[in-house]
Amino acid sequence: MESALSPGLLNGVIAEWWKRQTLATRFAIIGGMVMIVCAVAVGRFVTARIQQAAIDNSAAATALYIDSLISPLLEDIDADNPISIGPIMAIEELLNQDIGREFVSVKVWRRDGTLIYATDRNIIGNRFPPSEELLRAFNGEVVADHDSLGDAEDLAERTIGKPLLEIYSPVRQHLSGDIVAVAEFYEVIEDLDRTLAKTRAETWGMVALLTLFIAGALTGIVRSGSRTIEEQKDAIQHQLASESESSRQNRILRERIERASARTVELNEQYLRQISAELHDGPAQLLGLAALRIDNLRKKARAANRQDMEIVHNALQDAMQEIRNISRGLRLPDIEKLGVADIIAQVCAAHEARTDSAVEQKLFAGVIPATYSVKITTYRFVQETLNNAFMHAGGQSQSVVCNYDADEALLAISVSDSGPGISRRPSGKGARGLGLPGLQERIESIGGTFEIRTGKTAGTTVTMMVPIGREG
């Protein structure tokens, strides 16, 4: 059965906790660990160097002093024979004096590791493997080691139970300066040990104080910076929240405006339909009645007045036809239940019948979930742009392309011709349409975009793109 906190889950918990910490807390944790490691390393290095320097200085002073006393007694020893009784007695007499009481043991070595003298006479004449310190002393160095009593010949010294300083001092012949032996002294260094212990404590205390001071200073700086960063972060988050709320409110307002614009389009079409009906049922009917009466009067009038009545009759007929055309242009057919492709096809068919021109159609075959305002805009856009194509381009290569991107919910309709570019066309409106500026305003009011691409000889393409499903 797996543990409740697997390594992966535990790592995830730690990582999540770490992310929640401030910069100051992270610095305190990581910086604290690094400073502790560095403080321990520096403390160990400094105390070791101090201890070694103290031991070396003590050993050098002792060796110099002892050398001045021992070397004259041993300078005539033979390299191959044991030391004579005279030097032995002189050494022991020296050790029994006040100056020698600090030395608990003395050994004199040959180069091959043979003890030619030792305070412990039981090991005189024995041969031991030369230690590294002994070899260094035969090379002319004064070597000191603190409490290093691990060699086989140190059995007696290990039983003393006091801190000892082991000193190897070369013994030279007075005239030639050749090293003929090495004197090894074991000095009791209780005072030096106490001094070293005190120095170590003071060193560690100073390292700790400096580490705490540095850590405190750096932590204070980082904490101040972290506080500033946190305040700025809070301010930015507050600003982002405020901007997000403003953006949300703007989006709501924009959607309300688009819905209101869409409703305005529908109301406008109802109003235009009403005006169309009133023109057809009111002024058109009255003009028709007036034309009939003028026609009757013209038949009864004298020949002199008949020509004037003919002019009035024709003017009334033209006015009545113009009103009917205006009424027909203002009135939309019933398109609410038609699809976008069907609406475009209906507009194209009416345009072809009215202008006796051809319109190529490439229409999206699927279902487009367009609202009524989008359908109205589609009808007016195709109607107006085809009128412009016929009036200004002579109906050359008229085409309508309708595409729908379901992923983006975007309807795109383009009307193009191969006539002269728009820069060579009149800038006025169509026969009785909204005009391009009116189309652009209508399309943009429901959240769409309006674009015209034209060239001097490459024809003109007018495109509208409308998002589907945003209003309603």
Least confidently predicted of 6-10, 183-187, 209-213: 6-10
CA 281 to chain centre: 71
d(CA 403, CA 465) in angstroms, rounded, equals: 10
List C-alpha distances in Å: 113 to 85, 88, 330, 453.
20, 19, 128, 107
Percent pLDDT > 90 in the chain is 10
d(CA 451, CA 57): 95
- For residues 250 and 243, what is the distance between their CA atoms, to the nearest angstrom? 10
Of 54 and 304, the one with more pLDDT: 54
Residue 92 has pLDDT above 80, yes or no: no
What was the pLDDT predicted at 252? 82
Residue 89 confidence (pLDDT): 67
Phi, psi of 377 (to 5 degrees): -60, -40
Q: Tokens for 335, please give them.
A: 């398109």
Give long-range contacts, CB 8 A cutoff, 24+ apart: 434-437.
434/380, 434/384, 435/384, 436/384, 436/388, 436/462
442: pLDDT confidence band, cut at 50, 70 and 90?
Answer: confident
CB atoms within 10 A of CB 191: 11
% pLDDT > 70, the chain: 67
Per-residue pLDDT band at 471 (split at 50, 70, 90): very low
Measure the CA–CA gap between 450 and 382, rounded to whole angstroms. Answer: 13
Which pLDDT belongs to residue 341? Answer: 93
For 63, how many CA atoms within 13 A lie in the half-sphere containing its CB?
24
| pLDDT at residue number 472 | 44
Fold held by 334-472:
Heat Shock Protein 90 (3.30.565)
Residue 228 clears pLDDT 80, i.e. is over it: yes
- Domain spanning 8-198, CATH architecture: 2-Layer Sandwich (3.30)
Residue 304 pLDDT > 90, yes or no? no
Q: What is the pLDDT of residue 274?
A: 64
Q: What is the structure's pLDDT at 6?
A: 66
Per-residue model confidence (pLDDT) at position 400: 95
- Polymer length of the chain: 472
Provide φ and ψ at 454, rounded to 5°.
-150, 160
| 3-class SS of residue 16 | helix
Distance of CA 212 to the CA centre of its chain: 34
Sheet with 460-467, edge to edge strand ranges: 359-362, 398-405, 410-417, 460-467, 449-454
Share in percent of the chain as helix, strand, coil (round to 5): 60, 15, 25
CA distances from 467 to 86, 413, 414, 453 (A): 120, 12, 15, 21
Higher pLDDT residue, 63 or 405? 405
Tell me if residue 467 falls in helix, strand or coil. Answer: strand
CA distances from 388 to 353, 357, 393 (A): 16, 13, 8
Give the DSSP letter string of 289-332: HHHHHHHHHHHHS-HHHHHHHHHHHHHHHHHHHHHHHHHHHHPP
d(Cα 401, Cα 378) in Å, to the nearest integer? 12
State mean pLDDT over 250-272: 71
Mean pLDDT computed over 60-87: 64
Average pLDDT on 227-235 reads 85
Instruction: Summarize the confidence of residues 14-42 as an average pLDDT.
Output: 83
User: What pLDDT score was predicted for residue 430?
Assistant: 43
CA–CA dist 8, 106 (Å, integer)? 64
pLDDT at 1: 42
What is the spatial distance between Cα 414 and Cα 341, in angstroms, rounded to a whole number? 13
The domains spanning 8-198 and 334-472 adopt the same CATH topology? no
How confident is the model over 340-379, as pLDDT tens digits? 999 999 999 989 988 889 999 999 988 999 888 888 889 8
> Tell me, what's the pLDDT at 362?
94
Range 411-434 average pLDDT: 66
pTM listed for this prediction = 0.43
CA torsion angle 121 125 126 127 (round to 10): 140
- Per-domain residue ranges of the chain: 8-198, 282-331, 334-472
